[in-house]
Amino acid sequence: PKDQQQQQEFADPNVLVIQLSSPKVRHAAEIAARPNRAYAKMWGMDYGLHYSEWEQEHCRDVVQILSEVEHRQNNPERKEALKEQEEREPTPRYTSMLFLPPDVIITNLEMDVKALLGNSTESVVAYGKDSGVVLWNLDHDMFQDLLRDLKRDIVDRSTRCHSIDRLVKRTNTVPSNAVEELEERDGFVEPSRFLKYLEGSDKGRDALEMLNHIADSVCYRYYPKCEVVS
């Protein structure tokens, strides 16, 4: 069938997509999850909606999730413990992880996120200045050293971690050319711009309605991709 052939053509099972959220903005994340989950399924990627205890400090969750995945994939003892289980039910080895803010919607379901890296294959992390999207290269030689430094920087829970790109720039682990700004072109995502309005009742309702309209438009354009996601 055509749909199966298209999914095989797009298949990239080594990418994990994580939508970040928190209690106050969970409605926005759940709206954005519809097209974003459809995008992940279309490309054969795994998708997860992660609820944070932090309202403004999602970069702590990014570092925690990266650490858990890195530990599962690279810790020798953990690898041995999971060997028999994975023989029965194979799990993908992630080479890239894409983190999305709660209100960011992928609007171009046919674009490979890796294409946003342009001609560069040397980046350990790439981020969207306007969208807040962050793409990590887990196979980069510098990834583990960078992750170690990031964990050290935010281990003190009283320290505000601001954004991932600012944290990365504060480390001395990676050269500047290994941290890249994503080429946010071709309408891959609708930039993050709704969160600041979600606190107020009237503006919050308007923001959610606008976000829902964008999600509906994407799902309509790519029908029935959003509907077939389980």
Higher pLDDT, 214 or 89: 214
Does 225 have pLDDT greater than 80?
Answer: yes
pLDDT digits (tens, 9 = 90+) for 175-207: 766 777 765 555 678 766 666 655 555 667 788
Q: Which long-range contacts (CB under 8 A, 24 or more apart) does 180-183 make?
A: 180/117, 180/118, 180/120, 180/123, 180/125, 180/126, 180/127, 181/126, 181/127, 181/128, 181/129, 182/116, 182/117, 182/126, 182/127, 182/128, 182/129, 182/131, 182/133, 182/135, 183/116, 183/117, 183/118
pLDDT digits (tens, 9 = 90+) for 85-142: 656 666 678 888 999 988 889 988 988 877 665 555 577 888 877 778 888 888 888 8
Beta pairing class for 96-100 and 15-21: parallel
| pTM score | 0.82
Handedness of CA 63, 65, 66, 70 (dihedral sign): positive
pLDDT at 33: 94
What is the average pLDDT value for the chain, to the nearest integer?
77
